[in-house]
Structure 1
Amino acid sequence: MKDETAALCSGLCLIHCIATPILLSIGSLGLIGSLFTSEWVHLVLIIPIAALALASFPSGRKRHGRWLPTASGFSGLALLVTALFAPHEAEAALSISGGLLLIAGHLSNRFHCRRLPQAGESTC
């Protein structure tokens, strides 16, 4: 369940990063435009994304033994954190790349956890 929730949070981040330039190009959007461009939105999104990544990737790696989901997820998280401090021109590219890597990591982690026998073991 952690990986599904985390992929959803990463997807929301990805939608935010893609939708903001589109919405801004439309013109004056009032409250929605200011909400999408506000810096606090990035912080509100990164906190659950980071918490879920820290909760799901190490336990998944321990359970299924594969490093690729963990490497993909933590690389994506690093790109998202870097985007918080990057110049505006690089922010969208870093955020979109990071979001895609995180989603791929969580879905891969979920896939590998589900392939294992479930006899009395907890899921990732």
Structure 2
Amino acid sequence: MDPMNQALLALRSRLDRFGVILSGLCMIHCLAGLFLVGVLGLGGGVLLNPEIHHIGLILAIVIGAATIGMGALRHGHRLPLVLGLSGLALMTAAVLVGHGSAESVLTIAGVLLVACAHIVNMRRGSCSTTCDC
């Protein structure tokens, strides 16, 4: 494999890892928001700020498109793409429904699917460094 392909593969792998971390942080934010605001009545102004959700969704779309999309083009496997697009659709729906239990369920389901897509994509990427998948 030439150095350019190796560099692109390494970048995609790092971005996939970042995508998994971002998904985890999003889920922690969502669960912490439910607990702190719902149970303790604290932090509603910060944790429920719509801008946080819009920025998170934009980051998820950009990183997902860059890594999962590139991975699907490179290795031809559609599972990461289907998982990622489904997760992003759920996350978009969560932003549109507003605050509440529906938003939390949609967000958590969405970030889990996106994280799974990144993990499957990373596994496919590591395979392509050792064989022609």
Q: Do both share a fold (TM > 0.5)? A: yes
TM-score, length basis structure 1: 0.86
- Residue 44, structure 1, aligned to residue 44, structure 2: no
1:30-66 superposed Cα distances (whole Å, 9 cap, x missing partner): xx44211111110121111110011111210112211
Query: Identity over aligned residues, as a percent?
Result: 32
Quickly say closer, same or farther: Cα 1:40–1:91, change in 2 above 3 A: same
d(CA) in 1 for partners of 2:40, 2:73: 49
- Secondary structure, in 3 states, of the residue corresponding to 2:77? coil
- What CA deviation, in whole Å up to 9, does each residue of 1:63-113 have, x standing for no partner? 221100110011100100111111533111100000000000001101110
Structure 1 CA distance for aligned equivalents of residues 64 and 127 of structure 2: 20
- 1:9 maps to 2:10: no
Matches within 5 A, 1:85-124: 85-87=96-98, 88-117=100-129
Whole-angstrom CA distance in 2 between matches of 1:98 and 1:8: 14
Q: TM-score, normalised by structure 2?
A: 0.80
Q: How many aligned residue pairs are there?
A: 117
CA RMSD of aligned residues (A): 1.7
| d(CA) in 2 for partners of 1:12, 1:4 | 12
2-structure distance, mates of 1:10, 1:25: 22
The corresponding residue for 1:72 is 83
Unaligned segments of structure 2, at least 5 residues? 1-13
Gaps of 5+ in 1: 120-124
- Distance in 1 separating the partners of 2:38 and 2:96: 23
What is the alpha-carbon distance in structure 2 between the residues aligned to residue 57 and residue 18 of structure 1? Answer: 26
